[in-house]
Amino acid sequence: MSTSDQTQSVDTPIATPVGDTNGTETDAEVEVDAEVEEAGTGDRRLTPRQARRLRIVLSSVGMAAMAVVLALRIASRSSVLVVGVYGLALILCGIVIELSRNGRTRLGSWLLAVGLMAAIGSDWLLIP
């Protein structure tokens, strides 16, 4: 085993000779596969930066919506329970924004979904 073989990564594919096509792809097939991957027709996922920005935007929209609902609910019935439920939802949206900024997008997504559902559920169950 030579030194060049030892420095090669385990995941590095083994090069086959050009004339050897015993069950492997030809050069034309490899080029077509590379073009398909570059065209983006495969499985597309968000980058971590895009995921963070998406969570921040969703949290900001949720925060604005909770502020509007809080103002409407206070105008119709002034209750400490209304302020408590929607105030906690506003705080939760702020926490999710901070979590997203720090890269904890999955945790932020779960907190946002569960927290907003809890706020809506408690509004429906607790506030007459």
- Predicted pLDDT at 36: 45
* Angstrom distance (rounded) from CA 113 to CA 71: 22
- Predicted pLDDT at 49: 87
Q: Model-level pTM?
A: 0.56
Nearest alpha-carbon partner for 119 in 96, 100, 92, 95? 92
pLDDT digits (tens, 9 = 90+) for 78-87: 778 888 888 8
- Predicted pLDDT at 17: 53
* Angstrom distance (rounded) from CA 79 to CA 3: 76
Ranges under pLDDT 50 in the chain:
30, 32-34, 36-37
- Predicted pLDDT at 3: 56
Rg (CA), the chain: 27
109's CB contacts (< 8 A; 6+ apart) are 55, 96
* Angstrom distance (rounded) from CA 91 to CA 95: 6
Helix (H) or strand (E) holding 5: helix 3-7
- Predicted pLDDT at 31: 54
Residue with tokens 């050069």: 27
